Structure 1
Amino acid sequence: MSSDKDWMFCPKSGYLLSLDPFLQIATCKVSGYQRRLKELSSVKVVLRTDMEDYRRRFGLEPLVKSAVDEEMLKGRKRATVDEPCPKCHHRPMEYYTMQLRSADEGQTVFYECTKCGYKYSQNT
């Protein structure tokens, strides 16, 4: 069975070909099979991703929760802090942290009111 990704693999061993742009060849390190990169000039590689893929891959929490996020997060609780909401003064506030600046600087804390939904962040 042939696929549009066959160009990536050695036809003898099935191993992934290593591309060498200086020598202009693709080589199999197992069988020694080689083909010229010019033969691959018509190959188009298209990668598609969206924010959901990116968040899933890196385990990121959304900064603003959407209806889809709310559905995904059902049963999952954020940490709470006994602080009043700056807008409606309701207690407690949900929060989570992210390291957005360099590693030698503090983290960013994101707060969200459980009553009115007001959101803000603070660098610590």
Structure 2
Amino acid sequence: MFCPECKTMLISSGGQLKCRKCGYIRKIESTEHMTREKKRTENEITIVDDEDDKVKTQPTMQIKCPKCENNLAFWWLRQLRAADESEVRFFRCTECGHTWRQYD
């Protein structure tokens, strides 16, 4: 819950909610339920795997594959080196699945 005066989060203490910033105090009524979100277990996490359906959602680019010479590949960027250096562009051929990288 948040303070109606200053919009800061209220802290529960001694059966009441207190605002650290402005001093607003509100008693907790028995009808109000204050619960913490329970942590998820591994069984509750849903993993979406689109490899079985062969659904490809990555952007494509016209570039020649060094293995099969196909002219279309998926691409993505990753920061592999220090933050002040440029990203590395990865490509995966749409035909043979060969993956290669290109440095800028």
TM-score by length of 2: 0.48
Greater Rg over alpha carbons, structure: 2
Higher relative contact order (CA closer than 8 Å, sequence separation 6+): 2
Identify the structure with the greater helix proportion: 1
